[in-house]
Amino acid sequence: MAAKPIELNDEPDTQFSSEKGPLRAFVSRKTSSVPLQINVTEKIHLLLLLIVAIAVRRWNIAEPPSVVFDESIVGKSINNYLTHAFSLDTDPPAVKLLYTWLVELCNYVSPTFNFNTGESYLNSESQPFFPYTVTRGFSSLLGGCTILFTYRTLRASDVRHYIALFGAFIVAFENSISEQSRFMFVDSPMLFFIAFAVSMIKTLQNSRAFSRKWLSVLFLSGISLGFVISSRVIGIFTLIWAILVTIKETWFDLGDLRLKTSFVMKTGFSKLTAFLTIPFTIYLFFFFIHLNILTNKGPGYGKMSPEFERGLAHNHLSNLIEEVSYGSDIMLRNFHSGQYLHSYNGTYPNGHQQITLVDDYQDEENLWFVEERVKALGNELLEKLKPIRNGKTLRLFHKNTKAFLRIHESSKPALSEQDYNKEASALGNDSWTGDDFADFEVKIASDYCKTEHGKHTLKAGNTIFQLYNRKKSCYLLGTDKKLPEDWGHGQTEVICIESPTFVKSLWFVDYNRHPLFNEDSNTVDFKKLSFWEKFIETNNAMLKLFSENKFEHEYMSKPKEWIFLSRGIPYFVQPGKTIYLLGNLITYYLVAFSVIIFGLWELGKLITWNPNRVTTSSGRVYDYEFHGLDFFIGYLINLVPFYLMDQTVFLFHYIPALYFGILLVCQTFEFIVSRRAKVGYCFMLLWGVAILVTYIEFAPLIYGLKWTRQACERMLISPAWDNLCLAYAE
Q: What pLDDT digit, counting tens, does each position of 113-139 carry?
A: 999 999 999 988 889 999 999 999 999
CB-based burial of residue 717 (10 Å sphere; 0-12 exposed, 13-18 middle, 19+ buried)? exposed
Query: Is residue 11 included in any domain, yes or no?
Result: no
Tally the domains of the chain: 1
Per residue in 315-329, pLDDT tens?
Answer: 989 899 999 999 999
CB-based burial of residue 596 (10 Å sphere; 0-12 exposed, 13-18 middle, 19+ buried)? exposed
Could you give the 3-state DSSP secondary structure of residue 603?
helix
Question: How many Å apart are CA 331 and CA 361, to the nearest integer?
Answer: 8
Choice among 3-12, 179-188, 657-666 with the minimum mean pLDDT: 3-12
CB-based burial of residue 351 (10 Å sphere; 0-12 exposed, 13-18 middle, 19+ buried)? exposed
Mean pLDDT of 267-292: 97
Instruction: Judge whether 363 and 340 are in contact, CB under 8 Å.
Output: yes
Per residue in 208-251, pLDDT tens?
Answer: 999 999 999 999 999 999 999 999 999 999 999 999 999 999 99
pLDDT, residue 1, reads 41
- Is it the case that residue 713 has pLDDT exceeding 90? no
Query: Is residue 549 included in any domain, yes or no?
Result: no
Choice among 79-88, 246-255, 358-367, 686-695 with the minimum mean pLDDT: 358-367
pLDDT, residue 551, reads 73
Query: Is residue 411 included in any domain, yes or no?
Result: yes
Query: Is residue 383 included in any domain, yes or no?
Result: yes
> In angstroms, what CA-CA distances link 135 with 64, 132, 142, 190?
14, 5, 11, 15
Domain membership of residue 448 as a residue range: 318-525
More confident residue, 295 or 21: 295
Choice among 50-54, 198-202, 349-353 with the minimum mean pLDDT: 349-353
Question: How many Å apart are CA 60 and CA 303, to the nearest integer?
Answer: 40
Residue 619 pLDDT level (bands cut at 50, 70, 90): low
Give CA angle at 530 (525, 531), nearest 5°. Answer: 145
Residue 34 pLDDT level (bands cut at 50, 70, 90): low
- Is it the case that residue 710 has pLDDT exceeding 60? yes
Query: Is residue 566 included in any domain, yes or no?
Result: no
Choice among 370-374, 645-649, 718-722 with the minimum mean pLDDT: 718-722
Could you give the 3-state DSSP secondary structure of residue 345?
strand
264: Cβ contacts below 8 Å, ≥ 6 apart: 250, 253, 254, 256
pLDDT, residue 409, reads 87
Question: How many Å apart are CA 712 and CA 573, to the nearest integer?
Answer: 14
- Is it the case that residue 396 has pLDDT exceeding 90? yes
Instruction: Write 19-28 long-range contacts (CB < 8 A, 24+).
Output: 19/257, 19/258, 21/257, 22/257, 24/257, 24/614, 25/614, 25/616, 26/255, 26/256, 26/257, 27/252, 27/255, 27/256, 27/622, 28/256, 28/258
pLDDT, residue 695, reads 97
Choice among 20-34, 360-374, 496-510, 533-547 with the minimum mean pLDDT: 20-34
* Rg (the chain; Cα; Å): 31
Per residue in 485-496, pLDDT tens?
Answer: 888 888 889 999
Helices (H) then strands (E): counts for the chain:
21, 16
Query: Is residue 704 included in any domain, yes or no?
Result: no
pLDDT, residue 646, reads 83
Using the 8-state DSSP alphabet, how is residue 352 labeled?
Answer: P
Choice among 168-177, 195-204, 557-566 with the minimum mean pLDDT: 557-566
Residue 2 pLDDT level (bands cut at 50, 70, 90): very low
More confident residue, 47 or 25: 47
Residue 513 pLDDT level (bands cut at 50, 70, 90): very high
- Is it the case that residue 22 has pLDDT exceeding 80? no
- Is it the case that residue 10 has pLDDT exceeding 70? no
pLDDT, residue 617, reads 64
Average pLDDT, the chain: 91
Bond preceding residue 93 cis, omega within 30 of 0: no
Mean pLDDT of 60-82: 95
The closest of 651, 667, 461 to 569, measured between CA atoms, is 651
* Strand 403-407, strand 393-398: pairing: antiparallel
Q: Which sign, positive or negative, has the C-alpha torsion 76, 80, 83, 85?
A: positive
- Is it the case that residue 28 has pLDDT exceeding 80? no
Q: What is the CATH number of the domain that holds 414?
A: 2.80.10.50
Q: Which contiguous run of DSSP H or E holds residue 650?
A: none
Query: Is residue 506 included in any domain, yes or no?
Result: yes
Query: Is residue 12 included in any domain, yes or no?
Result: no
Choice among 450-454, 484-488, 634-638 with the minimum mean pLDDT: 484-488
Residue 411 pLDDT level (bands cut at 50, 70, 90): confident
- Is it the case that residue 3 has pLDDT exceeding 60? no
